[in-house]
Amino acid sequence: MLVRACPFLERVDVSYCCSFGDREAAAISCAGGLRELTMDKCLGVSDVGLAKIAVGCGKLKRLSLKWCMEISDLGVGLLCKKCLDLKYLDVSYLKVTSESLRSIASLPKLEFWLWWPAPWWMMWDYNFLKMLVLHYRQLMCQGDCLSSSSFISIIRVHSGLRQINAAYCFSELSPALLHCMKDLKNLSTIIINGALVSDTIFTTMSSYFRNLVCLKLETCNMITEEGVEQLGSHCLLLEELDLTDCSGINDKGLEYLSRCSRLLCLKLGVCANISDKGLLYIALIVQSFMNWIYTGDDGLAALSSGCKKLKKLNLSYCSNITDRGMKLLGYLEELSDLELRGLGKITSVGLTAFAAKCRTIADLDLKHCWNIDDMGFSALAYYSLNLRQVLNPVN
């Protein structure tokens, strides 16, 4: 009925619809102009349903089949023969083998292929994985699904890779892997969350990849100010840096990072050794942050005067923030997304002062801010006309 009523449908998302099966997939296949289809965890869809979609929706460009457990090599093979315009394909957790890799490798326009680890991963042939990487500029895998040797064999065959996402793939970034990666001259993004990266390795990496734009090192706890000093000396093009839960990062490290004047996004959540002093180093130099995580009242004073273009701010569980800090936040005239979860010292007085000055706020998280009452929400209703979502203290 939906497809008949909307013949020009281009995008459909039926993820987690437990009753969506082959019969419903056959109905969707009548939308011949469909460009994007997301069917994550539609457990009732089998190769039969996917075949219907492949035949009827030949113009598909994006398709996500994550957790569609009844789809096998047969369905993926037919899909790759019929939907030659596919640019994005997610086959995470499917019961597929090297046969599907052969099929996926034949897609002429595919730019982004996403997979996540599953118990049957050992069935995959890394020779075909290497062949598949030749088609793309991005390599993504997450979880303990690749050994260092397998990863090395993959990236050796393609020196044009621009992005590597190996979050939580390795317990340690080995010198051998790093030596292999140095030949990736076009590499601009590295995501190695969870890896044990020593200062020595980090120094080497900083000297190899001077054109890095994005670096994510969440929970890489061995990094200290010595490694960050090298980053601030060599990787001056960085726009996004994630050091969340890197316990070795301190104020001195932030002083070194202040050399990276192009930073747009810096994440320092759960870095317990950072104070407002370190925050000041960044705020005095970087004038156009779009996203900032972690601060205190004095740090907010620096941010509100030095980072006027800040659009997204996460202050959750920064327990030293008070109503004074809330008033300072009002000077961020482009702020649209603010997280204040767990701030027990802010009250309706501070929220009112903020709302009266910052009229651009659209998303506001106030969970566990127990001292905000009806007066504060009344101020939001009066001043914040662009507000789309509020997560209130009792949620």
Which CATH number belongs to the domain containing residue 111 in this structure? 3.80.10.10
Answer yes or no: is 21 within a domain.
yes
Answer yes or no: is 308 within a domain. no
* pLDDT-wise least confident of 162-166, 174-178, 216-220, 279-283: 279-283
Q: Please, which residues bridge with residue 190 across strands?
A: 164, 215
* Higher per-residue pLDDT: 116 or 82: 82
Determine, yes or no, domain membership for 121: yes
- Residue 287, in any domain of the structure: no
**Mean pLDDT lowest for which of 28-42, 167-181, 373-387?**
167-181
User: What are the Cα distances from residue 102, in Å, to 7, 73, 128, 377, 382?
Assistant: 34, 10, 7, 57, 59
Mean pLDDT value across residues 229-247: 91
Query: Which tokens go with 2?
Result: 């939906």
Of 366, 317, 374, 379, give the one whose Cα is nearest residue 338: 366
* pLDDT average, residue stretch 1-8: 80
- pLDDT interval class at 127 (50, 70, 90): low
Q: Is the pLDDT of residue 290 over 80?
A: no
Average per-residue pLDDT in the chain? 84
Range of the domain at 17: 1-131
* Strands ordered across the beta sheet of 11-13: 11-13, 36-38, 62-64, 88-90, 112-114
Number of structural domains found in the chain: 1
Does 260 have pLDDT greater than 80? yes
Give every strand in the sheet of 363-365, ordered side by side.
Answer: 138-140, 163-165, 189-191, 214-216, 240-242, 265-267, 291-293, 312-314, 337-339, 363-365, 389-391
Whether residue 66 lies inside any domain: the answer is yes
- At 89, is the pLDDT very low, low, confident or very high (cuts 50, 70, 90)? very high
pLDDT confidence band for 320 (50 / 70 / 90): confident
DSSP label of 70: B
pLDDT of the residue at 80: 94
Look at residue 136 and tell me whether its pLDDT is greater than 70: no
Q: Tell me the whole-structure pTM to 2 decimals.
A: 0.59
Give a yes or no: residue 85 inside a domain: yes
SS in 3 state form for 247-311? CCCCHHHHHHHCCCCCCCEEECCCCCCCCHHHHHHHHCCCCCCCEEECCCHHHHHHHHHHCCCCC
Percent of the chain with pLDDT over 90: 42
Q: With respect to residue 119, please indicate whether it lies within any of the assigned structural domains.
A: yes
pLDDT at 119: 54
What residues form DSSP beta bridges with 64? 38, 90
Q: Name the residue with higher pLDDT: 294 or 279.
A: 279
Residue 60 lies in a domain: yes
Q: Contact at 8 Å (CB) between 336 and 362?
A: yes
The residue among 41 and 139 whose pLDDT is bigger is: 41
Residue 279 has pLDDT above 80, yes or no: no
Share of the chain above pLDDT 70, in %: 86
Region 327-331 average pLDDT: 92
